[in-house]
Structure 1
Amino acid sequence: MPRFLSDKLCPVRAKRERRKEARPGELIQAALELFVEKGFAATRSEEVAVRAGVSKGTLFLYFQSKEDLLKAVITENLAGRFTEWNAEFESFEGSTPDMLRYCTRVWWERVGATPISGLTKLMLSEGNNFPELAAFYRREVVEPGHALMRRILQRGIDRGEFLAVDVDHAIYSVVAPMIFLFLTQHSATWVEDGIAFDPLTYVSTQTEIVIRGLSREPLPFPSAT
């Protein structure tokens, strides 16, 4: 029987099936929220199940351990998106400075301005206590992210837009300010009292500093928008 007819004839069963299909995503979302709020070690599996509206037993039908759940959170929100981000690199037609501006702005919009940014703080604060998870994060997020940034900077060098710098070290000129920004999202410690700290202005300023340090020709500083 076609699925749509089955759904019409048995709406309760259809609703249950759709609910079952949605559960992994709901569990991942609940886990992301709790891991960012409380930390990995302090979050209990029962809490994730409660927030997702399921039993603890149901959680373990989909994820064998809390570690597997965090790996799924990392894959769903970060590691699984590098195919998309590398495809954007391949299709980008503008200059490399414009590519770098686009990259840092979009990274902020899609990651930094969302709860996903809390994964960076989580791994910085708890990674040493969970070496297997730290290795997973390094392999699935850090290394692909650095590889993409190398491609961007090397593109600029190959096109004569950037100086021939040591790319392996130059990538941290971009990465480090973004990590600082993620930390400010989850701790007020890093920003002075009374400073009107605007994330987009910060991203734009840091990116322009990097571009000017790399550029072979002097560039005008774009006016604030």
Structure 2
Amino acid sequence: MTAAPPPPPRDSDAPDAEPRHKRERRKDARPGELLDAALDLFVEKGFAATRVEEVASRAGVSKGTLFLYFPSKVDLFKAVVREAITGRFDEWTAELEHFPGDTADLVRECMLRWWERIGNTRASGITKLVMSEAGSFPEIATFYTQEVVEPGNVLIRRILERGVRRGELRDIDLDNACHSIVAPMIFLTMWKHSLGPCCAVQHLLDPETFIRAQADILTHGLLKPDARKPTP
């Protein structure tokens, strides 16, 4: 009697088979993996030098798969910025609305939280990238201005308007006051991605100490004399 043929292998018996639910989870994770890989490479190499093939390879997918999610390198960069930075503004705005302290405390806290959530992360390299390559890629410079610079200035302006409204700040040029608060954070970003990694100068600057000093200088220069108080 001829032996019955063996049953077809189950998915778990086939070396290259993958359960459907696992494949679906993998597909859902791909955009995040691509964005993570792209952020690493943009910060390491810059926009011009980063190739989409490298991003796909680092994420473990084909270039064709990458283009299913992001039609171009510019679209990929925009998605990275939205994921790493722009998505934080709603959170920061909500925190502003419920902050219990005075304006000096709020300015300092805003700067410290920026350092914790952006400046001290890989995302801070995006700022250096844009400043370095804006002239060659005006589209990404315009996008960064609209998605990061302008919302950031709006948020800082609201902080300062709150201080004026509460009688803690004198009547000031709010636009330039916003630049004064942003400038130390840009300095920290450029330091971190240039001189900061050098052993010979690492000890010259502690970011949180620098931020507290800058916040103290800025707010005590803006406060009315009768509203001044020591900064903890």
What TM-score, normalized by structure 1, do the two folds share? Answer: 0.90
Q: Compute the displacement of 1:84 (Å).
A: 1.4
Query: How many Å separate the matches in 2 of 1:91 and 1:195?
Result: 36
Given candidates 60, 66, 71, the residue that maps to 2:67 is: 60
Higher share of residues assigned helix: 1
Structure 2 unaligned segments of length 5 or more: list them: 1-16
Q: Compute the displacement of 1:93 (Å).
A: 1.9
Query: How many Å separate the matches in 1 of 2:140 and 2:126?
Result: 12
Query: How many Å separate the matches in 1 of 2:230 and 2:131?
Result: 33
Matched position secondary structure for 1:188 = coil
Query: How many Å separate the matches in 2 of 1:175 and 1:194?
Result: 22
What TM-score, normalized by structure 2, do the two folds share? Answer: 0.87
1:157 maps to 2:164: yes
Query: How many Å separate the matches in 2 of 1:37 and 1:70?
Result: 14
Structure 1 unaligned segments of length 5 or more: list them: 1-9
Aligned to 1:21: 28
1:109 maps to 2:103: no
Q: What is the identity, as a one-letter code, of the residue corresponding to 2:138?
A: P
Q: Compute the displacement of 1:193 (Å).
A: 3.9
Matched position secondary structure for 1:115 = coil
Aligned to 2:216: 208
Pairwise CA RMSD of aligned residues?
1.9
Q: Compute the displacement of 1:196 (Å).
A: 3.0
1:109-188 alignment runs, 5 A limit: 109-188=116-195
Aligned to 1:41: 48
> Deviation digits for residues 73-121 of structure 1, max 9, x if unmatched?
0111111221111111112122111111110110000000000000100
Aligned to 1:197: 205
Going from structure 1 to structure 2, the CA distance change for 1:190 and 1:43 (only over 3 Å counts) comes to closer
Partners of 2:40 and 2:122 within 8 A in 1: yes
Q: Percent identity among equivalent residues? A: 57
Q: Compute the displacement of 1:142 (Å).
A: 0.5
Bigger Rg, which one: 2
Going from structure 1 to structure 2, the CA distance change for 1:25 and 1:190 (only over 3 Å counts) comes to closer
Q: What is the identity, as a one-letter code, of the residue corresponding to 1:203?
A: I
Partners of 1:26 and 1:52 within 8 A in 2: yes
Partners of 2:196 and 2:202 within 8 A in 1: no
